């Protein structure tokens, strides 16, 4: 069964809030947009791989997006399959065109039809994850569990090439649709070799309990200050920023669409970026002129008010 599901990574959710509110004149605007695109591609690749791994949920314990801490370091694994005799790390790779594994120089070359680019060698990356996971298991007295890994190429149209020993690479790299079969085969092989059976659900639960959430201060990373974000409520119909407040709701100056709660997404976005929102910040961010309207809006939202600090934060139970 799957005991941990994937959700959109927090850094990517933050970029989704920032980008539409950033002036195209912002010095690092292009870089930010490129980073968001790359992260979005990674996320959609992981979801494609999830689709195939799902078929293992009836026999093994599955966890998406595992983020653990060991020896002062955090490490992240796209998907973890706790099978009957081993743990399998599945690393999703989403590349378009042709990818070439060079096992001698340990590099990955992607050719999208026009440009050739180099990437960090996926096998080195996943070997590192295996190393950290082994240490983690050691700390939790589970070091007897063998760890294997697979690199799942998310898109079936990606052409995989090898500049060297193809057979060696083909043992750990495959299109995502083949990975569940490879995991089952390896697990059965271990059973036949007389390896001890592990309590997959119990081990999975132990990992789940220790899982953190990967986050990043995106504003700081790109040197964005709050004042550089363009304020205003986005129209849910046409996407234009700067809806006008009318009695009990909003109206779009562009398409005349009316909405009662178009502002909610915006205030939750603000809290996602900054951790909290004050009444004054809310007035500025939504383009309100009335303090009492801002208060009413915040009171009706799912946020909770911390009297001591005079600001609103997200309610962990609801948003």
Considering the complex, state which of residue 102 and residue 237 has its C-beta at the smaller distance from Zn ion.
237
Name which of 212 and 239 has its Cβ closer to Zn ion.
239
Judged by CB under 5 A, the stretch of 57-65, 236-244, 283-291, 295-303 that binds Zn ion is: 236-244
Nearer of residues 41 and 258 to Zn ion, judged by Cβ: 258
Q: Which of 7, 44, 254, 290 binds Zn ion (CB under 5 A)?
A: 254
The window from 53-61, 90-98, 222-230, 252-260 that contacts Zn ion (CB under 5 A) reads 252-260
By CB under 5 A, residue 246 contacts Zn ion? no
Residue 257 contacts Zn ion per CB under 5 A = yes
DSSP state of 20: G
Of 82, 252, 286, 303, the one binding Zn ion by CB under 5 A: 252
| Structure-block tokens of residue 257 | 């669409």
Residue 143 near Zn ion by CB under 5 A: no
| CA proximity to 208, closest of 59, 77, 313 | 77
Distance CA 319, CA 312 (A): 13
The residue range among 85-93, 168-176, 230-238, 291-299 that interacts with Zn ion, by the rule CB under 5 A, is 230-238
Binding Zn ion (rule: CB under 5 A), the pick from 15, 36, 137, 235 is 235
Q: What is the DSSP string of 187-230?
A: HHHHHHTTPPP--HHHHHHHHHHH-------HHHHTT--GGGSP
CB 30 within 8 A of CB 236: no
Q: Residue 18 burial by CB count (10 A; 0-12/13-18/19+): exposed, middle or buried?
A: buried
**CA 232 to CA 248: how far, in whole Å?**
17
Shortest separation between residue 253's beta carbon and Zn ion, angstroms: 8
DSSP structure class, residue 275: S
Counting contacts by CB under 5 A, is residue 221 touching Zn ion?
Answer: no
Instruction: Examine residue 241 and tell whether it contacts Zn ion (CB under 5 A).
Output: no
Classify residue 115 as exposed, middle or buried by CB count within 10 Å of its CB (0-12, 13-18, 19+): exposed
> How much of the chain is in helix, strand and coil states, percent to nearest 5?
40, 25, 35
- Number of residues near Zn ion (by CB under 5 A): 8
Give the residue with the Cβ less far from Zn ion, 160 or 243: 243
Q: Which one, 139 or 256, has the nearer CB to Zn ion?
A: 256
Q: How far is the CB of 240 from Zn ion (least distance, A)?
A: 5
Give the one residue of 138, 196, 230, 255 binding Zn ion; rule: CB under 5 A: 255
118 forms beta bridges with 109
* Minimum separation from the CB atom of position 245 to Zn ion (A): 14
Of 250 and 284, the one with the shorter C-beta distance to Zn ion is 250
DSSP state of 14: H
Please select the residue that binds Zn ion; options are 127, 228, 237, 302, rule is CB under 5 A.
Answer: 237
3-state SS of 54-116? HHHCCCCEEEEEEEEEECCEEEEEEEEEECCCCEEEEEEECCCCEEEEECCCCEEEEECCCCE
Structure-block tokens of residue 195: 């390896």
Q: Does 238 bind Zn ion (CB under 5 A)?
A: yes
Binding mask 163-202 for Zn ion (x = CB under 5 A): ----------------------------------------
Instruction: Give the binding site for Zn ion (CB under 5 A).
Output: 235, 237-238, 240, 252, 254-255, 257
């Amino acid at each position: 069964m799957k005991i941990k599901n994937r959700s959109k990574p927090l850094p990517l959710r933050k970029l989704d809030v920032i980008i539409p509110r950033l002036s195209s004149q912002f010095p690092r605007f292009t870089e930010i947009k490129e980073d968001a695109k790359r992260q979005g591609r990674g996320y959609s690749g992981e979801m494609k791989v999830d689709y195939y791994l799902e078929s293992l949920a009836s026999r093994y314990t599955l966890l998406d997006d595992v983020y653990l801490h060991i020896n002062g370091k955090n490490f992240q694994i796209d998907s973890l399959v706790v099978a009957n005799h081993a743990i399998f790390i599945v690393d999703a790779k989403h590349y378009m065109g042709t990818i070439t594994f060079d096992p001698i120089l340990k590099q990955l070359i992607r050719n999208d039809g026009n440009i050739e680019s180099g990437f960090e060698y996926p096998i080195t990356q996943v070997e590192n994850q295996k190393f950290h996971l082994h240490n983690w298991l050691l700390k939790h007295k589970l070091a007897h569990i063998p760890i294997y890994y697979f690199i799942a190429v998310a898109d079936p149209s990606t052409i995989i090439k090898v500049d060297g020993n193809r057979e060696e690479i083909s043992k750990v790299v495959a299109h995502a649709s083949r990975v569940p079969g490879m995991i089952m085969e390896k697990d059965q092989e271990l059973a036949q070799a007389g390896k001890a059976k592990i309590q997959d659900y119990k081990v999975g639960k132990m990992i789940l309990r220790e899982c953190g959430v990967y986050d990043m201060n995106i504003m700081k990373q790109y040197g964005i200050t709050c004042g550089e974000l363009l304020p205003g409520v986005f129209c849910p119909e046409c996407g234009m920023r700067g809806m006008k407040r009318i009695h009990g709701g909003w109206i779009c100056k562009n398409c005349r669409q009316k909405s009662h709660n178009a502002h909610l997404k915006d205030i939750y976005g603000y809290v996602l970026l900054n951790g909290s929102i004050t009444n004054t910040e809310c007035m500025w961010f939504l383009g309100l002129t009335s303090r009492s309207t801002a208060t009413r809006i915040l009171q009706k939202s799912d946020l909770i008010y911390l009297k001591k600090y005079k600001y609103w934060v997200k309610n962990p139970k609801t948003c």
